[in-house]
């Protein structure tokens, strides 16, 4: 192990901050594109935590999980963008608060 070693805690704090940023974006943003971006940020923060943990314990599992998260994120974005197109077509807006037809 050469060079500067970043402590695990620091990485986890960074990941938490990223996650909180994403979550805040999900909760407070109304534009659906930004909501999708916030989701990406949250997924990647989880991925970062996995990679850091895997490195800290010298195990490959963290990397494997990160690959899985990448695949999930890619699938999610393709489906999500498809939905965004449909929402735009139907409601002529990207504001998710306007698209509340499914109310009880």
Partner 1 sequence: MLQNIWLIPLFPFVSSVLLILTAGQLPRRLIAIMGAGSVGLSALVVLAVGMQFMESQTPYTLTLWVWMQIGNFAPGFSFYVDQLTVVMMSVITGVGFLIHLYSTEFMDDDSDYSRYFAYMNMFVAAMLILVLADNLLLLYLGWEGVGVCSYLLVGFWYKDPVNGAASRKAFVITRVGDTAMALGLFLLFTELGTLQIQPMLDAANSRWVTGDTIPAIAALLLLGGAVGKSAQLPLHTWLPDAMAGPTPVSALIHAATMVTAGVYLIARTHGLFLLAPDVLMLVALVGLFTLLLAAFTALNQTDIKRILAYSTISQIGYMFLALGVGAWSAGIFHLMTHAFFKALLFLGAGAVVHCLHHEQNIFKMGGLRTKLPVVFWSFLIGSAALAALPFTSGFFSKDQILLSAFELHGSTGISTWVGPWLWAGGLVGAIVTAIYSFRLVFIVFYGEAKTEPDRQPGWRMAGPLSLLCVLSLIGGYFVLPLESVFPAAAEHHVSHLIEGISISIPLIGVFIAWLVYYKRSLPVEGFTESGFGKALRNFWYSGWAMDKLYDTLLVNPYTGTANAMRGEWLDKIYHGVVSLCQGLHALLSKSQGGKMRWYATSMVFGLIVLVTLVGWAS
List interacting residues with partner 1 (CB under 8 A).
23, 26-28, 30, 35, 96-97, 99-104
Give least dist CB 101 to partner 1, A: 6
Among residues 27 and 60, whose Cβ is nearest to partner 1? Answer: 27
Write b or e for each residue in 28-64: b if 16 or more Cβ atoms lie within 10 A of its Cβ, otherwise e.
Answer: eeeebeebbbbbebbbbbbbbbbbbbbbbeeeeebee
Quote the tokens at residue 25.
């974006």
Give least dist CB 19 to partner 1, A: 11
Give least dist CB 39 to partner 1, A: 10
């Amino acid at each position: 192990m050469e060079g500067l070693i970043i402590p695990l805690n620091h990485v986890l704090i960074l990941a938490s901050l990223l996650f909180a940023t994403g979550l805040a974006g999900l909760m407070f943003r109304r534009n659906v594109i930004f909501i999708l971006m916030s989701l990406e940020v949250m997924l990647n923060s989880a991925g970062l935590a996995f990679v850091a943990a895997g490195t800290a314990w010298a195990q490959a599992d963290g990397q494997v999980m990160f690959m899985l998260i990448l695949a999930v994120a890619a699938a999610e974005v393709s489906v999500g963008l498809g939905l965004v197109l449909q929402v735009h077509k139907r409601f002529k807006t990207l504001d998710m608060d306007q698209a509340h037809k499914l109310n009880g």
